[in-house]
A = this chain, B = another copy of it.
Amino acid sequence: MARDERVFCIGEDIGIPGGWGGAFTVTLGLEQDFRERIIDTPISEAGLFGVALGAAIMGLRPVADVQYGDFLFCAMDQVVNQIATMRYMSGGKVTVPLVMRAPVGATGRGAQHARNPEAIFYGIPGLKIVCPATAYDAKGLLKAAVREDNPVLIFEHKLLYGSKGARAETEALDASSEVPEEDYVVPLGEGIVRREGTHVTVIANLLMMHRALLAAERLAGEGISAEVIDPRSLVPFDWELVEASVGKTMRAVVVEEGPRTGGIGAEIAASLAERMSDYLLAPVGRVASPDIPVPFAPPMEEFYRPTVERIVEAARGVVVGSGG
């Protein structure tokens, strides 16, 4: 923000002195340095995303957030019908440099504060989508998004907001990788190999990436070498990286936290079947949540979200089933 005065933040409960810096303290502190550029809104999601769009059209670079990804549905007309189409409808004359942030994932709050809606937005042309799994990427992708001339939706996982601080979640995982102080970006559309392997490619982002790494660890114990790819961006998607990996391992499993039907995994599986049919030794495995709303009670929530165990099973199934 210090670099570009066109950048401003807009959201609920982000600018109150003595407040929280958003539902998950993400903007905490910024309200002191950039008072006028931290805009605290009424509880009006459609309004605030539309306002951000209007400002973006005029050349500002807003960073708009909702407190939970579920609330994107309150702003859905703006996101889908306006933000994603404005440039196109204008015949390319209007530019929409707009960043949207939304925390996702189930955290003991029941069905309305828990969804992983990535797949729903994945099918909306005109939006770029990123999903950082580490603190390093969170900073680098945010900076890339802010410098991008198109709408970018950033999904962040509540359980990755750091194990420290006042709003850390009980089961939060430590994703606090080294974060350099200096300016750097993680380019949109660049995935990364988180662990190398030769028998099966496991594609996973956000919290699932961490579980996939744990699964890979366990699989190694069984003699199965899993390569873990974190695509980091969903749109654009790093097909090159994934194809290179699957070309080597000849097997793939996609892990996601959202419901299975119509999920990200469906697209990746269908695309890989088309792109890599000469290589794939087995159908792409999909690990996802069941097709249900998110339940509250801890045992049910735990059952809902893919576990390390389920990832291990799926990878093992794909490898063993194809003579690995």
User: Which of A's residues lie within 8 Å of B, judged by CB?
Assistant: 70-71, 73-74, 76-77, 79-81, 84-85, 88-89, 110-112, 119-120, 122-126, 235, 258-259, 261-267, 269-271, 273-274, 277, 282-284, 286, 290-293, 295
Cβ B124 vs Cβ A85 within 8 A: no
Inside 8 A of A126's CB, which chain B residues have their CB? 292-293
How far is the CB of A151 from the nearest CB of chain B, in Å? Answer: 12
Cβ B123 vs Cβ A293 within 8 A: no
Inside 8 A of A74's CB, which chain B residues have their CB? 76-77
Inside 8 A of A283's CB, which chain B residues have their CB? 273-274, 277
Most buried by B among A73, A88, A258, A274: A73
Cβ A73 vs Cβ B76 within 8 A: yes
Most buried by B among A74, A77, A110, A277: A77
- The residue in chain B whose Cβ has the minimal distance to the Cβ of A277 is B283
- The residue in chain B whose Cβ has the minimal distance to the Cβ of A254 is B270
* With known contacts A269-B270, A270-B284, A120–B124 Cβ distance under 8 A: yes
A-B contact pairs, 26 of them (CB 8 A): A73-B77, A73-B79, A73-B81, A74-B77, A76-B77, A81-B111, A88-B111, A88-B295, A119-B123, A119-B262, A120-B124, A122-B261, A123-B263, A124-B259, A125-B259, A126-B292, A261-B267, A262-B266, A262-B267, A266-B267, A266-B269, A269-B269, A270-B270, A273-B273, A273-B284, A274-B283
How far is the CB of A115 from the nearest CB of chain B, in Å? Answer: 8
How far is the CB of A90 from the nearest CB of chain B, in Å? Answer: 10
In angstroms, Cα B76 to Cα A76, docked, is 6
Cβ B122 vs Cβ A262 within 8 A: yes
Inside 8 A of A77's CB, which chain B residues have their CB? 71, 73-74, 76
17 further contact pairs, Cβ within 8 A, besides A235-B261, A269-B270 = A76-B77, A81-B111, A81-B112, A88-B292, A88-B293, A122-B262, A123-B259, A125-B261, A125-B291, A125-B292, A126-B292, A262-B264, A266-B267, A269-B273, A270-B273, A270-B286, A273-B283
Cβ B123 vs Cβ A111 within 8 A: no
Inside 8 A of A293's CB, which chain B residues have their CB? 84-85, 88-89, 125-126
How far is the CB of A127 from the nearest CB of chain B, in Å? Answer: 10
- The residue in chain B whose Cβ has the minimal distance to the Cβ of A263 is B123
Inside 8 A of A76's CB, which chain B residues have their CB? 73-74, 76-77
In angstroms, Cα B160 to Cα A18, docked, is 58
Inside 8 A of A123's CB, which chain B residues have their CB? 119-120, 258-259, 261-263
How far is the CB of A123 from the nearest CB of chain B, in Å? Answer: 3
